[in-house]
Structures are given as structure tokens and as C-alpha cells.
Structure 1
């Protein structure tokens, strides 16, 4: 039996989930929180124009854009795009039109500038 199940995420199943504040304009629904060596997995929902400041990834980060688009310094990623950010990589993230992403971090990010 799986530890957790979230149904139909790629077709809007996230719309019925409860999100909590994460950063200004960004909310989070935790699927699994960091615990020991266990990675954190969550859904992030960005309002149009929301951003996360420049940060570093001490571990691997993977993102699947489920709705809308998310951008960083390397491009704009639309629904269906899978992004991998290597350990040690840095970027800032924003969404012009709002988005929902499924994200997994090996380790919590380090915010570099507010």
C-alpha cells in the first residue's frame, strides 16, 4: 500500500486539495515533508506575478508543471514540462500567469536573497 496518494493531478485533481501559505503569492500542499533523509514532496501554487527569490539547491530538485507556466533564468516552462535542477544549482522562480507544480527536493533550499 502506498504511503500517500493524490489522484488525477495532471487533470486538475489538485484543485480540491488544501494549500497553506508558503511565500508571498505562493501556497503549498505537502505530500511528504522532509524527515531525516526523506526528500520533501509538495504541490506549489503560484498566483499570477508571484516569485520565489534566488536560492540554491543543496540536493536535486525535480519539477513537473501541472498548470500554467513557471519561469526561471533559463526559460519558461508550460504544463507538461519536467525540469531537473542539479545539486548546487541556483535560480529564482516566477510565474507570469500563475501555475501549479509538483516538486520534490532532496534537501530544503537555501534562500540567497530576499
Structure 2
């Protein structure tokens, strides 16, 4: 099984991991699924043009962009960007180019718009 160490992920080791369905155009590799009210940690891989509809953060969310560019209403975040979304904030996410992000959620988000 490929390693999920920081060094391996930053150097492209995520390419050797198995991703499964998450949302249309977005796949997921769980490093640590949500369990017993504990945070979840995963890699999300966005196809070019894919996104996640407007949603509200029910807990703290942190994101490290590993490759490509992830965007929201506040701007574009390229590889190496570290994003913190506080409890109660709302936004939608998209990637024009495609991207891979390392994400940690304290709690699942609430989708506010129909997909």
C-alpha cells in the first residue's frame, strides 16, 4: 500500500492511491474516515471543470492544495496553498484545471444547493 506521508503526497505519491466516487467529477481517497465524531482526512481529486455546490462548514475545514488550482468565491489557490474554512462559513468550490487537495473536516458539510 502506498504511503500517505507528507513527503510522499507532496512528491506525487497520491497518484498510486486508489480513489473512489465522491461527487460528479470528484473522487476521494480516505486517509481517515469520519468515525465516532472524530475528524475525517482525505484526498480529493477534481477533474477539470468539476466542483462542489455551495455548502456550509459545520466544523473547521483545512485544505492543502497538492497540485493544480482550487477556486472559490474568494479566489484561486494553487499548489502549496493552505486554506482554512471556519465553522459557519459558506462557499462553493471548483477547479477549472483539475486539482488534488489534502482535506481535513471536523464535521461533514451541509450542501445548500441542489447538485
TM > 0.5 between the two?
Answer: yes
Q: What are the equivalent positions in structure 2 for 1:25-44 lying under 5 Å apart?
A: 25-44=25-44
CA distance in 2, matches of 1:94, 1:44: 12
Deviations 1:48-81 (Å, cap 9, x if unpaired)? 0001000000100000000000000000000000
* CA root-mean-square deviation: 0.7
CA distance in 2, matches of 1:109, 1:36: 16
For normalisation by structure 2, the TM-score amounts to 0.94
> Given the alignment of the two structures, is residue 113 of structure 1 paired with residue 113 of structure 2, yes or no?
yes
CA distance in 2, matches of 1:21, 1:9: 20
Deviations 1:16-55 (Å, cap 9, x if unpaired)? 0000010000000000111112101000000000010000
Gaps of 5+ in 2: none
> Given the alignment of the two structures, is residue 9 of structure 1 paired with residue 9 of structure 2, yes or no?
yes
Gaps of 5+ in 1: none
CA distance in 1, matches of 2:102, 2:20: 15
Q: Secondary structure at the match of 1:77?
A: strand
Structure 1's consecutive aligned runs of 4 or more residues displaced over 6 angstroms after TM superposition are none
Q: Secondary structure at the match of 2:15?
A: helix
Aligned position for 1:53: 53
Aligned position for 1:73: 73
Q: Secondary structure at the match of 2:10?
A: helix
